[in-house]
Chain A
Amino acid sequence: MEYEPVIGLEVHAQLLTRSKIFCGCSTLFGAEANTHTCPVCTGLPGSLPVLNQKVVEFTVRAALATQCRIAPYSQFARKNYFYPDLPKGYQISQYELPLSTDGHVEIQVEGQKKRIGLIRIHMEEDAGKLLHDLSSDRGASSYVDFNRTGVPLIEIVSAPDLQSPEEAGAYLRKLRAILMFLDICDGNMEEGSFRCDANISLRPKGQKALGVKTELKNMNSFRNVQKALDYEIRRQTALLDQGDKVIQETRLWDAARGVTASMRGKEEAHDYRYFPDPDLVPLVIDPQWVEKIRAALPELPEQKKNRFIRDYGIPEYDAEILTSSKALANYYEECLNIYDQPKIISNWIMSELLRELKRDEREIEECPVPAGNLAEMLKMIDEGVISGKIAKSVFEEMYRTGKRAQEIVKEKGLVQVTDTSAIEKAIDQVLAANPGEVEAYRRGKGKLFGFFVGQVMKATQGKANPALVNELLKKKL
């Protein structure tokens, strides 16, 4: 029996506001435990929430960028459950009346375009952090840090339109890029500012009815999301093939062992008892405010890509890669400001630069070669100061040390030799040293030309201008 996966993803993204969603505590990451709290975010008796307006603005941005419908009337709700990282015993979220619904995101997998539906985007508060590994003399303990409680989140729920782990990966990358382009989230999965849970079920190919789904949690990178989904598909397939049923449950991804495992210690299925939060009044979104936000939206990936194609004349393939992240697009345009050669820069970034970054598993934001430096170096090739071949090793050195091209070229004396008499001298030396090969070449062995070029380059430590070498060598031979 052949099965097809049906996958839906739930993303929680932390918003880049200065203060928390319902109080004035700072949202900065990494502070000492319990130093960014107040009576409100720690749920002290008598405390009350007040909504941070920026959170609404950022959520509207996200909704606009994904073609969601923005609800004219929206309300917060309490999601009630007990957990030590949840100080009030409920999370303030949105339930029946979310801020936005019914949007979509376009993805591309293996050249195929696909539209993934978004069911809703709503606002909620983050919970605290639990540490389980601090040593304790008081028996098995867990430790709670409330710095993170109250950090604003948007929850983005996709429709179950994803049909493979690859599509899931593409969707996540696109969504993350959009949020980063909007300047509302920094997309840092390691620090937890961009998180993903998955829902997955299998059904016989062609069947309309959905199978039993499991929820997957604890996947902290795009690769892990894909691996977890891969594993879960295999696991569910095996169950169904044996005639067993898939149990609806939550499973945690164990990256070390490469498996999903059922969550132990879940005493009962959660009954969240949602009801409208009486401490927070309804939101009535003014359409004029929405238009103001729309007008001020930063350029989105799709728009930027089209502009690059149109204004810079680069192919769609290049434009797609260069606009896959805001930082990369900015890097590219910074280079262009200094050296106006779109295709050359594009080629160089896509081949040399991205290769180096990928090897080190670094993002463009951590690139040791500032855009200005790269552009300068490319200009130097253009001006004939260095040859294209030398440039490659110069670039590797720039990447390794962060130094500018000029410095490196000067230090290592790599300036391209364009002085014809110097080249002629080298050629004469090479020809004199290899009489046999000269003889053979003159008698017809054309292939030896490459040998002579190589020798001349060697004699000039690769610095000779190749075009000149070719020209002068031909004359001499």
Chain B
Amino acid sequence: MKLYEMTAHQLHDLLARKEITSRELTESVLKRIEEWEGRIHAYLTLTPEMALEQAAAADLRIQKGEAGPLTGIPLALKDVICTRGLRTTCGSHILDNFIPPYDATVTEKLRDAGAVFVGKTNMDEFAMGSSTENSAFGPSRNPWDTQRIPGGSSGGSAAAVAADECIASLGSDTGGSIRQPAACCGVVGMKPTYGRVSRYGLVAFASSLDQIGPFSKDVRDTALVLNAISGHEPRDSTSVDLPVPDYTRALVGDVRRMVLGVPRETSGQGIDPQVTKSVGEAIEVLKKLGAKTVEVSLPHSAYALAVYYIIAPCEASSNLARYDGVKYGFRAKGAQDLLDMYQETRGQGFGAEVKRRIMLGTYALSAGYYDAYYLKASRVRTLIRRDFEKAFEKCDAIVLPTAPTPAFKIGEKVDDPLQMYLSDIFTIPCNLAGLPGLSLPCGFSREGLPIGLQILGNLFQEEKVLRVAHAFEKNTDHHLRKPKL
């Protein structure tokens, strides 16, 4: 097995035993990137020199016996996460030349852990999208079929892990932007509970929904990254002040006496029967492992899409008002006056989907519409939360599909925004309720495309989610399949 194909925990063992060095490992990954990046386009910025410097530093730490689980491991960061001194574009022209003067908290934590950064990954512009086709710099491609989308908005981070162009990566999830690409690319993707991971340095899309989370090749790596990035942050008022358990201790490989909730509402129009079949089989595996299943009802999940596509654009329209050409980023040339400067800068700097959502959000917050849209959606959000509270009285975790279909073809849904939005029907409710959610591969379609199983937990119950995921993974081998590149 090549170094770049391995998981972080496997590599940590090799590094700790001094069988390999971080330098060797990093060079292996960089070479892999050289071979495949042309076809995958997972990255917007590659940092080979910095990576090798970090690898050298990591090797020193390892020699001194001071290595942690992520020391010397090559990782990638979604380009929505600030990295000091390193271009951070959010997949947008308007930040094409933006160099943050500070590190996001997660960046700091990973640096402290001794990780190696190989680059910043591609994404839908400002995290708005489900296919990475909204990137101002061209889409990323699904390693399983480069004519297809890798999912979005964290498509680059998912594709990079699936193609072994990094060992693990970070993405962000607002309505499914980690879980859905994880399903499309056949990797593990997790969104922690809202407030578990600091948002300081995460460029905001929808503040009450955004969370940073890991992409990895297996559940153990997910736990390791989660350990490293979680924790209270005084610079983020929404960050929760709870101790971080060692998430690897949840990986007991056993789901006996656990009760899994299966939502009644996860069948219907638009769901590929192959997805239904795969997920059904996955639930059977879990039952054979000793878990009980119980039907739960999430009656308001039918409204989740509408709620999300009001709340997220409203918050986004406000969060993106700062991109005005005054202080940083792109400024249109030749503006006649201030109004002209604003309109030209934002008109030229933003892509169509971003503009569409800003318009939607601005409209929904404007005079006379606030009650009917934002306020109404926020009340229905409460009902969606209550549905989950009731469901979790009966079960430890909820299992359902991650996405209604496997990865679709590039270009297939760009002209129909509403169709594109429907990719998120299973992932959105979890963001609205702030719950932790994970996707891992549970099967493949006839075309050989990955299908994802989604596991949701109650607030701050990441351990239960990881436990179910790990037990399933241990007893299946979907996660061991690699795309033929």
Interface residues of A (CB under 8 A from B): 39, 42-51, 78, 80, 82, 84, 87-90, 144, 146, 267, 271, 273-275, 278-281
**In-complex Cβ contact of A271 among B82, B326, B367 (8 A):** B367
**In-complex Cβ contact of B237 among A42, A78, A280 (8 A):** A280
Q: Looking at the assembled complex, report how far the CB atom of B374 sits from the nearest CB atom of chain A, in whole angstroms.
A: 6
For residue B322, CB closer than 8 A to chain A, the reply is: yes
Q: Looking at the assembled complex, report how far the CB atom of A52 sits from the nearest CB atom of chain B, in whole angstroms.
A: 12
In the complex, chain B residues whose CB is within 8 Å of the CB of A51: 237
Contact B374 A275 (CB under 8 A): yes
A280 to B326, CA, bound (A): 25
In the complex, chain B residues whose CB is within 8 Å of the CB of A90: 318, 321
If over half of B's interface residues share one DSSP class (helix, strand or loop), that class is named, otherwise mixed; here it is loop
Report the nearest B residue to A84, measured CB to CB. Answer: B326
In the complex, chain A residues whose CB is within 8 Å of the CB of B207: 278-279
**In-complex Cβ contact of B101 among A44, A48, A271, A281 (8 A):** A44
Contact A89 B201 (CB under 8 A): no
Report the nearest A residue to B207, measured CB to CB. Answer: A278
Contact A39 B236 (CB under 8 A): no
Residues of B within 8 A of A (CB-CB), count: 45
A271 to B202, CA, bound (A): 28
Q: Looking at the assembled complex, report how far the CB atom of A264 sits from the nearest CB atom of chain B, in whole angstroms.
A: 12
Q: Looking at the assembled complex, report how far the CB atom of B379 sits from the nearest CB atom of chain A, in whole angstroms.
A: 13
**In-complex Cβ contact of A50 among B98, B235, B323, B338 (8 A):** B235
In the complex, chain A residues whose CB is within 8 Å of the CB of B324: 82, 84, 89
In the complex, chain A residues whose CB is within 8 Å of the CB of B366: 271, 273
Contact of A46 with B82 at beta-carbon distance under 8 Å, contacts A87-B326, A90-B318 already known: yes
For residue B90, CB closer than 8 A to chain A, the reply is: yes
If over half of A's interface residues share one DSSP class (helix, strand or loop), that class is named, otherwise mixed; here it is loop
In the complex, chain B residues whose CB is within 8 Å of the CB of A80: 317-318, 321, 365
Contact of A48 with B200 at beta-carbon distance under 8 Å, contacts A42-B327, A271-B366, A279-B237 already known: yes
Q: Looking at the assembled complex, report how far the CB atom of A48 sits from the nearest CB atom of chain B, in whole angstroms.
A: 5
Contact of A47 with B200 at beta-carbon distance under 8 Å, contacts A84-B326, A90-B318, A273-B362 already known: yes
- For chain B, residues 365 to 386, give those with C-beta under 8 angstroms from any C-beta of chain A: 365-367, 370, 374
Contact B339 A46 (CB under 8 A): no
A279 to B338, CA, bound (A): 29
In the complex, chain B residues whose CB is within 8 Å of the CB of A88: 321-322
In the complex, chain B residues whose CB is within 8 Å of the CB of A280: 237
In the complex, chain A residues whose CB is within 8 Å of the CB of B82: 45-46
Q: Looking at the assembled complex, report how far the CB atom of B160 sits from the nearest CB atom of chain A, in whole angstroms.
A: 21
Contact A144 B326 (CB under 8 A): yes
In the complex, chain B residues whose CB is within 8 Å of the CB of A89: 318, 320-324
> Across chains A and B, which 9 residue pairs bring their CB atoms closest together, nearest first?
A89-B321, A273-B365, A278-B207, A278-B208, A45-B203, A46-B201, A43-B322, A46-B82, A46-B203
A39 to B327, CA, bound (A): 11
Report the nearest B residue to A38, measured CB to CB. Answer: B102
- For chain B, residues 101 to 118, give those with C-beta under 8 angstroms from any C-beta of chain A: 101-102, 104
Contact B315 A278 (CB under 8 A): yes
A84 to B200, CA, bound (A): 24
- Count of CB-CB pairs between chains A and B under 8 Å: 100
Report the nearest A residue to B126, measured CB to CB. Answer: A45
Q: Mark B82-93, 1 if CB is under 8 A from A, else 0.
A: 100000101000
In the complex, chain B residues whose CB is within 8 Å of the CB of A279: 204, 207, 237-238
A239 to B412, CA, bound (A): 63
Interface residues of B (CB under 8 A from A): 81-82, 88, 90, 95, 98, 100-102, 104, 199-204, 206-208, 234-238, 314-315, 317-318, 320-324, 326-328, 338-339, 342, 362, 365-367, 370, 374
A65 to B375, CA, bound (A): 35
In the complex, chain B residues whose CB is within 8 Å of the CB of A278: 206-208, 238, 315
Q: Looking at the assembled complex, report how far the CB atom of B272 sits from the nearest CB atom of chain A, in whole angstroms.
A: 34
In the complex, chain B residues whose CB is within 8 Å of the CB of A275: 314, 318, 365, 370, 374
Q: Looking at the assembled complex, report how far the CB atom of A19 sits from the nearest CB atom of chain B, in whole angstroms.
A: 14
In the complex, chain B residues whose CB is within 8 Å of the CB of A146: 327
A271 to B362, CA, bound (A): 10
In the complex, chain B residues whose CB is within 8 Å of the CB of A274: 365, 370
Contact A84 B338 (CB under 8 A): yes
A57 to B208, CA, bound (A): 27
A51 to B237, CA, bound (A): 8
A84 to B95, CA, bound (A): 18
**In-complex Cβ contact of B327 among A46, A82, A87, A271 (8 A):** A87
In the complex, chain A residues whose CB is within 8 Å of the CB of B88: 45
Report the nearest A residue to B102, measured CB to CB. Answer: A39
The residue in A46, A90, A146 that gathers the most chain B C-beta atoms within 10 A of its C-beta is A46
The residue in B81, B88, B327, B362 that gathers the most chain A C-beta atoms within 10 A of its C-beta is B327
Contact B199 A44 (CB under 8 A): no
A-B contact pairs, 14 of them (CB 8 A): A39-B101, A44-B327, A46-B203, A48-B199, A48-B238, A78-B318, A80-B317, A80-B318, A80-B321, A84-B324, A90-B321, A274-B370, A279-B237, A280-B237
A42 to B81, CA, bound (A): 18
Contact B342 A281 (CB under 8 A): no
**In-complex Cβ contact of B321 among A82, A84, A144 (8 A):** A82
In the complex, chain A residues whose CB is within 8 Å of the CB of B101: 39, 44
A274 to B318, CA, bound (A): 10
Report the nearest A residue to B209, measured CB to CB. Answer: A278
**In-complex Cβ contact of B235 among A42, A48, A78 (8 A):** A48
Q: Looking at the assembled complex, report how far the CB atom of B466 sits from the nearest CB atom of chain A, in whole angstroms.
A: 27
A340 to B57, CA, bound (A): 75
